[in-house]
Structure 1
């Protein structure tokens, strides 16, 4: 019996190969490259240092700024291996479901690839958190070198990193003050303002392009510095959580071309498994017993191993991928500098209509759709109003209230006062043309 470490190492190798194999079947070329690097990086982070090869990739793993991709000590590797193998097995099922055409799984794969979620989103956010480069006497310097400490860092007596992205508070109405994003981070300000104005988000929308906070607390005293500092920190954290960072310009144009159908969608065909060439003798009795045994097992297939063909969630076609690219494009933007306006402008993607508007033209022959409305329903005649259409012909009492005749009024003697009122009222309505002499309603 092999030791547990050897068994665990073998299982990890099998999972790595299976994950890399499924990553090659993803219908997006960027997703195939991204998840291949991601899978290899995650496995190398839990590879013992003695088994690592001396390469540039190994040194890059050791220098990685994200803690999740740094190489861990051996005691942590042995302690986390069983749990991480279960996580890797779930990830393998998720990739298989995406390759089978399940829309939520495949859409999430595209979100990770194009930086709408996951590690790449933080990498894109770090890019727009860099200060703008300015010119000082012919020398290009960063904004932090030129302006020194941020206004909020001096005002709140703190070196908290999130305070350097904001300007000094400006007074507003109703005892409020506005803290906007600094001019040295104009790309970040352009993205936050455009996303808040358009109301674009994956879950909850941004609170606003700038932070609004009260000047005084509940006791009408100046806001304590600690509380004001924490308010800014919470607003910054919520904004960064809901922010959709811009893509590189070339990548945004490529995604737009994929959604529009200009570029070709790259779909990889799954390789066929190898078949056993030797022909075995067919035994009908053994085949029947195997069928009965498999039926008695009552094993429920996982959604990751369900058969393809008629029962697959969706066939992955170029048209199907263009619809998914269109949904991803609506959550992506690019940031370009406009020399006329002298500011950064964020351009967001829009939904691509795959159906041509020519099929919605008006019919050439109006008689084809005669008698139906715009929704295709048959037009019906308006209903006749119930009761008396003219309130002036309804009898009233001295107080101005409507008088209703009992059902037995017609059977009373003719000299009865109530019968006389009914006959007079009938003559009045017949003269007005509301009812006939036999008492049927004829309308006006």
Structure 2
């Protein structure tokens, strides 16, 4: 189910590739200054004497801003992340691409461009792209119990096997049938009571002295487990919007704030007269 949630919210799979394409797509110029930047970029490509490639169609500044947020202190710690972590030298690919060859001479521009594209490709494969605000707020409400979540229930996907003794009568395998034990191998008769088949069919073992027993390692999916799973997915998601002044982006990651529970009115008497812990004083800096 966790894998399905990762696919649904674009942490892996085809939806992630679509969200990543939206992240890398340059925004339409909305002012003369932004239009002038595109013109200067096209002139720089012509001045370098090369043909435009796929990296020229990426918004690298937007990508690097999101990568800094994902690897910096903005993003909460992620458990069992679906993608590897981004290394430090991948935060600024232009700085870490070598400018000299092994003989100390200038590196060929074509080779340097190839290395730069390879580094950007490695960075894009590790990015957890931002999601639309509607999906991000849906996860937030589910984690904070503001939205109702219908807990999925385990249902039987398998059917009981029926053994035909003759053309006019059908006997269920669950019932005691000594003829089958006398004429067929034991492993074939008891195959239905294997752990895998009992989980699929939903049946229980009735032959034990303590009564009906659930299949071994049959995990119970509780509402608390689902909220924790949704919280893990919410920690991997972020929303990215351009600031009102047009300079930079605002990035917000999902992170639940844990607060101590408030004591109910029936238990307040136990806390009467308890000392209030004072806040620690801030240390003065050196002058």
Both structures adopt the same fold (TM-score exceeding 0.5) = yes
Match of 1:102 in 2: none
Q: Distance in 1 between matches of 2:174 and 2:30?
A: 85
Q: Distance in 2 between matches of 1:284 and 1:341?
A: 70
**Residue-pair matches, total:** 235
Query: What is the CA RMSD across the aligned residues, in angstroms?
Result: 4.2
1:149 corresponds, among 42, 45, 48, to 42
Closer, same or farther: CA 294–227 of 1 in aligned 2, 3 Å: same
Equivalent position SS for 1:115: coil
1:287 correspondence with 2:192 = no
Q: Which has the higher helix share?
A: 1
1:237 correspondence with 2:121 = yes
Superimposed CA distance per residue, residues 306-329 of structure 1 (whole angstroms, 9 cap, x where no aligned partner): 354453542223221100001111
Superimposed CA distance per residue, residues 293-347 of structure 1 (whole angstroms, 9 cap, x where no aligned partner): 4733375957586354453542223221100001111111111233268421111
1:135 correspondence with 2:33 = no
1:225 correspondence with 2:100 = no
Conserved 8 A contact 1:153-1:163: no
Q: Distance in 2 between matches of 1:284 and 1:214?
A: 71
Q: Structure 2: any 5+ residue segments left out of the alignment?
A: 163-167, 203-213, 264-269, 273-287
TM-score for the superposition, normalised by structure 1: 0.44
Closer, same or farther: CA 244–283 of 1 in aligned 2, 3 Å: closer
Q: Which has the higher contact order (CA 8 A, sep 6+)?
A: 2
TM-score for the superposition, normalised by structure 2: 0.65
Closer, same or farther: CA 282–314 of 1 in aligned 2, 3 Å: closer
Match of 1:197 in 2: 72
1:117 correspondence with 2:12 = yes
2:86 corresponds, among 192, 197, 206, to 206
Closer, same or farther: CA 282–221 of 1 in aligned 2, 3 Å: closer
Conserved 8 A contact 1:260-1:352: no
Q: Distance in 1 between matches of 2:173 and 2:196?
A: 32
Match of 1:442 in 2: none
Q: Distance in 1 between matches of 2:257 and 2:144?
A: 6
Conserved 8 A contact 1:245-1:332: yes
Conserved 8 A contact 1:114-1:247: yes
Match of 2:244 in 1: 339
Q: Distance in 1 between matches of 2:15 and 2:197?
A: 26
